[in-house]
Amino acid sequence: MKPRLIALGDSALLIQFGDEIDPGVNQRVHELDALLNLDKPAGVVETVPAYATLLVHYDPLLLTYAETSDWVNAELDKVRSAASRKPRRIEIPVRYGGVSGPDLDFVASYHKLSVQEVLRIHTSHIYVVYMMGFTPGFAYMGKLDDPIATPRLETPRTKVPAGSVGIAGAQTGIYPIDSPGGWRIIGRTEVRLFDLAADPVFLFAPGDRVQFVMEALDA
């Protein structure tokens, strides 16, 4: 099925593959994203993959909406023939519970599971970086197995430390920098996700596969 193309203002084109969080839909977003970035015409500024959509930012002084959508439509015809790139897989060591993961006990009791069972589920899946946003380097990952999907805090914390690993609904993610946040924090990693002095600056890219590894469990 062809996605729907629609103008978002006069400088962006939204490609809608669906409107829900679904691994298959997200996969199609990343396939088209990779293809569009192989050879962008002058005037296409950048693309931003999200859960079920791909946003193409373009310079309206250089391209019209019709020219941009013609280009996207021509590329869409090539998607099926394009060999999909093998996604990168990144392991993230995590210190779970204790001061690193103040909400781990809540997540366990919310689901009537033991802490060990929550960890087993969280570390046994390979998650997909569906999209990035919120703060520089923040990766929205899923899809969490239903047994540990947990609603956000009712009142967000004013400061969540960098490296905190959290759960929000059926998503999991890591805070790249200290920031306010409402995700349930179950652990923390020492790995830097965003470092202006590093190369690459961002550890994750949309479409990456991520697996959490238990480094320690604090009481």
- Least separation, in Å, of the C-beta of 45 and another protein? 5
Determine, following the binding rule CB under 8 A, whether residue 191 of this chain makes contact with another protein. Answer: no
Cβ closer to another protein: 136 or 161? 136
- For CA atoms 9, 42, 74, 3, give the dihedral sign: negative
- Cα separation, 219 vs 208, whole angstroms: 31
Interface region with another protein, contact rule CB under 8 A, candidates 41-49, 77-85, 86-94, 101-109: 41-49
Parallel/antiparallel/unpaired status of strands 209-218 and 89-97: parallel
Number of residues that bind another protein (CB under 8 A): 44
Residue list 53-92, contact with another protein (CB under 8 A): 53-55, 57, 60-61, 64-66
- Cα separation, 46 vs 55, whole angstroms: 8
Determine, following the binding rule CB under 8 A, whether residue 198 of this chain makes contact with another protein. Answer: no
Count of C-beta atoms within a 10 Å radius of residue 21: 17
Determine, following the binding rule CB under 8 A, whether residue 190 of this chain makes contact with another protein. Answer: no
Determine, following the binding rule CB under 8 A, whether residue 218 of this chain makes contact with another protein. Answer: no
What phi and psi values does residue 170 have, to the nearest 5 degrees?
-90, 20
> Six-digit token pair at 61?
């002084």
- How many alpha carbons lie under 13 Å from residue 14 in its C-beta half-sphere? 13
Judge contact between 182 and 143, C-beta under 8 A: no
- In sequence order, what are the beta bridge partners of 58? 44
- Interface pattern 97-126 for another protein (x via CB under 8 A): ------------------------------
- Contact with another protein (CB under 8 A) among 71, 138, 175, 212: 138
> Considering only CA atoms, which of 168, 166, 162 is closest in space to residue 194?
162
CA 132 from centroid of its chain's CA atoms: 5
- Contact with another protein (CB under 8 A) among 48, 90, 113, 121: 48
Largest CA distance in the chain: 59
- Contact with another protein (CB under 8 A) among 3, 28, 32, 49: 49
Determine, following the binding rule CB under 8 A, whether residue 1 of this chain makes contact with another protein. Answer: no
- Least separation, in Å, of the C-beta of 158 and another protein? 14
Cβ closer to another protein: 111 or 209? 209
Interface with another protein (CB under 8 A): 6-12, 14, 16, 19-21, 45-55, 57, 60-61, 64-66, 131-138, 140, 177, 196, 201-202, 205-206
